[in-house]
Amino acid sequence: MWFKNLQLHRLPAPWSVTADQMQKWLAPHAFAPGNSVEMQSQGWAAPRDNAPDSLVYALNGQLLLMFRAEKKLLPASVVTQFTKARAADLEEQQGFKPGRKQMRELKEQVTNELLPRAFSIRRDTRVWIDCRNGWLVIDAASQAVADEVRGLLVKSIDQLPLGTVQVTQSPVAAMTQWLLSGEGPAGFTLDQDTELRSPAEGNATVRYVGHTLDTEDMRRHIEAGKQCMRLAMTWNDRVSFVLTPSLTIKRIAPLDVLKEAGDPTAQNDDESFDSDFTLMTAELERMLGDLLDALGGEKGSGQHNEPARAQDKATPQAVVA
């Protein structure tokens, strides 16, 4: 249930949208498996297997969506192999090698013939919408995947009031200062993974993995011109994560205190799902608030977001000062 990554976006707080309204927006873009000649397809799928017709899971002002993408696996080397064999047969028939146009046509023909036999892989990406606090969060480590999800969101919801997260202090500057002092901000501790990189030509980089972050070592690297580009942290001994310069939060993991906090009275999978979702959203909501405070708060927090439109480019990931 727990998201592993947080790509952060802003919505009006509160955002007055119901699960029924969201269902109406998403339904025309529901996922359907690609046909025999489509390389890929995408759409919205049910967040829960036991409710296949519902594209929205709602609980206590929180919404959960599921983006699904399907892609046919047809290696280029296989297409090339069959195309060459077909070209050799054609050369024997006509007495000369096929030209560029014929080769393009042969390749297209071979691709269309092989597609129905190709394997398909599916990728599901979850979206959490906190209507009360104005968060839209995509569980994606890859920027390309997040772009796909945002693109379908904008296509599905006309005038989507999606905004970027802008904080007062740059995460790079903040993380560098925390390493220099050897202490995290209030409520956070520093873990044993980090990456320091020089912005100068050559991009000299030092990575620590599972290694004690000695303050003197950090000071030496920082005085040499390096800046912190990734930092593993723990919030209130409850959630560990890695912070990045773009404010994308990666490698999220609930710690033992939360793993033991599940509802022991849950009688079935539905109740367990409800309990886990409630716990996750409550904890991450508080963690995000503390993290924004640690970065000096948000810029323009009282301003309204400009609506995103289908013809607009996909909204970029979180922008920082």
Spatial CA neighbour of 62 closest among 123, 127, 159, 154: 127
CA 130/CA 137 separation, integer angstroms: 8
The pTM of this model reads: 0.81
Q: What confidence score (pLDDT) does residue 314 get?
A: 40
84 shares its domain with 187: no
For residue 64, the cross-strand partners are: 57, 128
User: Within 194-268, where are the H helices?
Assistant: 215-223, 256-259
CA 171/CA 44 separation, integer angstroms: 33
Q: What confidence score (pLDDT) does residue 317 get?
A: 39
Q: Please report, to the nearest 10 degrees, the dihedral formed by the alpha carbons of residues 267, 63, 9, 7 taken in order.
A: 40
249 shares its domain with 149: no
Q: How many domains does the chain have?
A: 3
Q: What is the pLDDT of residues 290-317, one digit of tens each?
A: 999 999 999 865 444 555 655 444 433 3
What number is the average pLDDT over the span 130-158? 95
Q: What confidence score (pLDDT) does residue 39 get?
A: 73
111 shares its domain with 218: no
Q: Does residue 183 sit within a domain?
A: yes
Q: Domain range for residue 185?
A: 171-294
Determine contact, residues 28/58, Cβ cutoff 8 Å: no
45 shares its domain with 183: no
Q: What confidence score (pLDDT) does residue 159 get?
A: 87
CA 215/CA 98 separation, integer angstroms: 67
Q: Does residue 50 sit within a domain?
A: yes
81 shares its domain with 38: no
Backbone φ and ψ for 203, nearest 5 degrees, come out as 50, 50
143 shares its domain with 198: no
Q: What confidence score (pLDDT) does residue 87 get?
A: 87
Determine contact, residues 258/239, Cβ cutoff 8 Å: yes
Bond prior to 12 in cis (omega within 30° of 0): no
What burial class does residue 218 get, using C-beta atoms within 10 Å of its C-beta: 0-12 exposed, 13-18 middle, 19+ buried? Answer: buried
Q: What is the pLDDT of residues 110-127, one digit of tens each?
A: 888 777 777 778 899 999
Q: Does residue 193 sit within a domain?
A: yes
Q: What is the pLDDT of residues 245-296, one digit of tens each?
A: 999 999 999 998 777 766 566 557 788 899 899 999 999 999 999 999 999 9
Domain boundary among 116, 146, 181: 116
142 shares its domain with 15: yes
256 shares its domain with 213: yes
Q: Does residue 304 sit within a domain?
A: no
Q: What does the chain come to in residues?
A: 321
Q: What confidence score (pLDDT) does residue 320 get?
A: 34
Concatenated DSSP letters of 150-176: HHHHHHHSTTB--B---BSS-HHHHHH
Q: Does residue 313 sit within a domain?
A: no
Q: What confidence score (pLDDT) does residue 260 get?
A: 72
112 shares its domain with 26: no
Q: What confidence score (pLDDT) does residue 315 get?
A: 38
60 shares its domain with 97: no
Q: Which residue has the tokens 């090698």?
A: 97
**Regarding predicted confidence, which is higher, 8 or 257?**
8
